[in-house]
Amino acid sequence: FRVSLGDFIDRGGKVYLDNSAAGGDRQKTIPLVITLPEGQSVPAEQIVSAS
């Protein structure tokens, strides 16, 4: 899914760096934990890859 970080922040979301995630290389990928207040949602676009 593709979402905008700004959409989370605009709705009161909090963003935290996830230092425990093994997948992030800190160059191109930075793992984050993002929370939203209860009852809030953000628009998301599903990305379909051609196989």
Contacts of residues 39-48 at CB distance under 8 Å and 24 or more positions apart, as own/partner, are 40/11, 40/12, 40/13, 41/11, 42/3, 42/4, 42/7, 42/8, 42/11, 42/13, 43/3, 43/7, 44/1, 44/2, 44/3, 45/1, 45/2, 45/3, 46/1, 46/2, 47/1, 47/2
Check whether 51 has a pLDDT greater than 60: yes
| pTM, to two decimals | 0.64
Could you report the per-residue pLDDT of 24-42, keeping only the tens digit for each? 566 677 788 999 999 999 9
Q: What is the pLDDT of residue 12?
A: 96
